[in-house]
Structure 1
Amino acid sequence: MAQAVRWQKSSYSGGGDGNTCVEVADLDTHIAVRDSKAPARATLTFPADTFARFVEALKRPAN
């Protein structure tokens, strides 16, 4: 049986119902990303290592 995908919202999702952000799901070898305002729409998937490098790049200060 397939395991259900567990979506997580950022702690920076904003006030109210918290649907002004993206959600991510760990699919083992890939990371899925979707719009929290339209979760039934298409998702983007990235290789896990590529997504990790992207997140690390976001944490670095801008020059």
Structure 2
Amino acid sequence: MRIFSSTRPNDDAARNIGAVTSDTHAEHHALHRNHGGRLTYQREASRELLLLAASTVVRMR
């Protein structure tokens, strides 16, 4: 999944947020597969949503 399709190649902030979002997304799926702790799963999902919101702000600038 590519999040930042319209960012400039030198936009480090957007790339960093994209990398963290991808890592968090992978962790989110791993938690779901392993059925490990519903609270941890919800916390990771909330973190992913916050990162996606932050990436939208970076993209809009």
**Bucket of the pairwise TM-score, normalised by the shorter protein:** 0.3 to 0.5
Higher RCO by CA contacts (8 Å cutoff, separation 6 or greater):
2
**TM-score (normalizing by structure 1):** 0.32
- Structure with bigger strand share is 1
**TM-score (normalizing by structure 2):** 0.32
